[in-house]
Amino acid sequence: MSDSSRTTSPTHVADPTLTETSGSIGCPRWQSTRRSARMARTGLARLNEADAGDATALVLACAAVPRWARAIVEGRPYADADAALTAARTAAAPWTPEEVDAALARHPRIGERVRGEETDAAHSRAEQAGVDRTDAETARRLSAGNAAYEARFGHVFLIRAAGRTGPEILAALEERLTNDPVSERLVVAEQLREIAVLRLAKELGVTPKEPEMSDTRAAGTTAANATAPHATAPHATAAIVLGDNQYGKAEVRLLRVDRDTPRHRITELSVTSQLRGDFASAHLVGDNAPVVATDTQKNTVFALAKDGVGAPEEFALRLAEHFTSGFDWVSGGRWLVKQYTWERIPTTLADNATDGTHDHAFVKGGTETRTAVVQRDGDDVFVVAGLEDLSVLKSTGSEFHGFPRDRYTTLAETDDRILATSVTARWRYTTADVDYDALYADVRRLLLETFADVHSFALQQTLYKMGERVLHEHPEIGEIRFSMPNLHHFLVDLAPFGMDNPGEVFYAADRPYGLIEAEVRRADVAPDPRAWSTVAGFC
């Protein structure tokens, strides 16, 4: 379907295996206008009885994919044309991205006049016969659509044009402009397969019986069929397509010891790396060519730690840069880093100690875990810092009353109670120009101070005041989210034992519990859901 005298696709890929010449100097053998006498055979004999070179030329004129052509030629002889077409479909499922690019480079724009005497140019002219070039409005819209498509996807618009009118092709073009790049790539690959099989059938003098050709007016239909090239979707309106996806290695445990001075520093992390990008072929047809092994991701975590860890946010950003810059098809991902608390062991001994703490002995610290989630989407980077399991309790300064009562309400009102919770908080930075360690330490301080100082009438009120103070103190933060269970402590009734209990003995109930969750944000900062899209739960 091409004019070989010019490059029509921005993604033209030259294939060195197609430079063998026969006839005219510099003209690929399979495009030679001087046909061998052996090619005068008709029907299946043209494929079965031709020598390997002429048979390969015959198949390559249908699609410029050498591996595909080689598989078909090596499968000869075929009992009938259907067997040959079945072999063609099988060899084309799947084609690699490079093979798709090579085949695309031989196709002209839809609606443009096809020149040239080559076999594939003749195929293109016949296939586009349904496009009425005297229809000025359709021609204008096709031209504009082609330009918009190439700007969006980087290659010519491709469709099995045989049997379709100009308006039908235009409708499919405008529909497919709404596809995302991954889905459209699958549509293109399936259209190339259909075109290749149709052309081979024509060369063999038959009309293919299977599969029924897909209707690309439903943008997802062809992508769905790519998972099973020999099957036809039973209902074009009920297509099944691959949605958002990511993969990687979860919870890589890492301990880094900094020994640059006699007073060591340790950092313990749990790192989860998940990649996003063009991985559709792995899901749809089991092609692992783009799959960066999860074991490789694990090893990368350890290798990058050799140069130091720093703040968990910084380490996650380094991982993001490594994978997105090192693999062209990785467009983004999600990197979660949790940092566990270790504290130096206090000591009264002088040996191996500084300021009353040991230089290289540590004890597990507080209950909380520091967290950082970095997500990258192309050039957009989102950093969400946080902490979880920060257990806090105040023995007074909390009330709870004035709530509605119905026949199922048994909870007594109180003007003095224990308030306890385990704080999970995450906050989004609106700038990368921050000292992550210093900011984390100060946000933690503000959360603890506010919890302690606010006289609470409800855990919701305490939550809001904690978030409000963080935002007042730190303009670098756009919003902060909380998930805070109300860890109930019920006063034990000691009256049956003849004893009073003036708020001294409580039963600590771990479940069920109230769960309070909310976001506190700046009114003048637009929220960005992408930053939170894979943060589990509310925060």
Residue type, 201: A
Which one from 107, 123, 394, 488 is the annotated catalytic residue? Answer: 488
Q: Which two tokens stand for residue 188?
A: 């293109």
Q: How many residues does the chain have?
A: 539
Known catalytic residue at 488: yes
CA dist 66 and 102 (Å) reads 9
Residues whose CB falls within 8 Å of the CB of residue 486, separated by 6 or more in sequence, listed in order: 420, 421, 459, 513, 514, 515, 516
Q: Which two tokens stand for residue 103?
A: 């085949």
Residue pair 177/145 in contact by the 8 Å Cβ criterion: yes
CB 104 within 8 A of CB 155: yes
Q: How far apart, in Å, are the Cα atoms of 164 and each of 1, 167, 460, 503, 537?
A: 15, 8, 62, 83, 49
Given the residues 294, 341, 347, 357, the one annotated as active site: 294
First to last CA, the chain: 53
Distance, C-alpha 213 to centroid of its chain: 30
Tell me how many degrees the CA angle 18-329-61 measures, rounded to the nearest 5. Answer: 20
> Active site includes 209?
no
SS3 262: coil
Number of H helices, E strands in the chain: 15, 11
Map tokens 């549509």 to a residue: 187
| Cα distance between residue 516 and residue 463, in whole Å | 8
CA dihedral 284, 331, 319, 437 (to 10 degrees): -130
Strand pairing of 357-377 and 380-394?
Answer: antiparallel
- Which of 249, 338, 358, 394 is labelled catalytic? 249
- How many angstroms separate the Cα of 478 from the Cα of each of 429, 459, 521, 526? 6, 22, 6, 8
Closest to 388 in 3D by CA, of 417, 425, 360 = 425
Instruction: Give the C-alpha separation, 290 to 327, whole Å.
Output: 9
Residue pair 507/490 in contact (Cβ under 8 Å)? The answer is: yes
Q: What secondary structure letter does DSSP report for 17? A: G
Give catalytic residues, as residue numbers. Answer: 249, 294, 488
